[in-house]
Amino acid sequence: MLKRVLTIAGSDSGGGAGIQADLKTFCAFGVYGMTAITAVTAQNTHEVLSITALNPAAVYNQIKAIAEDIGVDAVKTGMLFNAEIIEAVVEAIKNFSLPQLVIDPVMVSKSGRYLLESEAIHSFKEKILPHAQVVTPNLNEASVLSGISVLTPDEMKQAARIIHQMGPKYVLIKGGHLAGEEMMDILFDGKKDVIFPVQRQMTKNTHGTGCTYSAALASLLALGYDVLAAVKIVRRYMDIVIRYSLSLGKGFGPTNHLAPLFLKCGLNPEKGGWNW
């Protein structure tokens, strides 16, 4: 049976991030994707026009409907937007014993729009982080969560230790925004750091990379990989989908979630098509 992965996140009308990116990523990894939508955004590659948060009860009921019927092998969360939605999600995590939780602390869109209300940050840290198998902040998100400036690899390691004390089993800080030629992601398990070199790609088309990264990680955890092995595979996947990212729209274009499959089929990842 296909493994079942649930994304609890916002909808991106432009298709590059949020649940749309998650579902494409789930397809790339051969798992069955399900969604609990937290908010509906009207956005494209260069701006977020509006955000409409769903009623927390509606978010809870989406998760309930899935958990009580289809079942869940792994979960990722993305945009949670406010404290009330966070509380509803945490209640569902507890009530339905949702496994293998990957938390992507979505806070700001690529265009600069805030996607998590400032008053919800405390709830995020206190209520949902303790349930995480892995939390995957970028440098800016790591700064908010840890309370320190995170601009260098040493500061990434320090922030990971602070965040780990909040309860997640693993902290994976993504270093794509590091200055200079050498970039890295750092995984901390409470005892040691594992460093993953990151290939710098000369493209602005990185919309949805955080969503894609966490969705890929949740997929691999559902498939039975341990966290260390999963991150190694995800890093290879991210290098490919960013290398073949798409120049769509006037701003930050999306990653190319199915590029590895196109390549395997002998298709041009930038043109797509079918070959089955």
Q: Out of 45, 136, 206, 255, which one is annotated catalytic?
A: 206
- Whether 38 is catalytic is no
Give pLDDT, residue 176.
83
Q: Out of 24, 208, 212, 255, which one is annotated catalytic?
A: 208
Q: Out of 211, 212, 253, 255, which one is annotated catalytic?
A: 211
pTM: 0.96
Give pLDDT, residue 111.
66
Rounded CA separation 231/170 (Å):
11
Q: Out of 76, 127, 174, 176, which one is annotated catalytic?
A: 174
- Whether 206 is catalytic is yes
For residues 134 and 168, the answer to whether their CB atoms sit within 8 Å is yes
Rounded CA separation 196/142 (Å):
17
For residues 72 and 63, the answer to whether their CB atoms sit within 8 Å is no
Q: What is the DSSP string of 240-270?
A: HHHHT----SSS-PBP-TTHHHHHHTT--TT
Rounded CA separation 28/219 (Å):
9
Q: What is the DSSP string of 15-69?
A: SSSHHHHHHHHHHHTT-EEEEEEEEEEEE-SS-EEEEEEPPHHHHHHHHHHHHHH
Consecutive 10-residue averages of pLDDT for the chain (276 residues): 97 97 98 98 93 97 98 97 96 98 88 79 94 96 94 96 98 88 92 92 91 98 98 97 95 95 95 91
- Whether 211 is catalytic is yes
- Ordered by where they begin, the domains of the chain are 4-132+206-264 (3.40.1190.20)
174 burial via Cβ count (<10 Å: 0-12, 13-18, 19+): buried
- Whether 204 is catalytic is no
Rounded CA separation 64/41 (Å):
23
Give pLDDT, residue 140.
92
Which residue has tokens 């709830």? 123
Give pLDDT, residue 4.
98
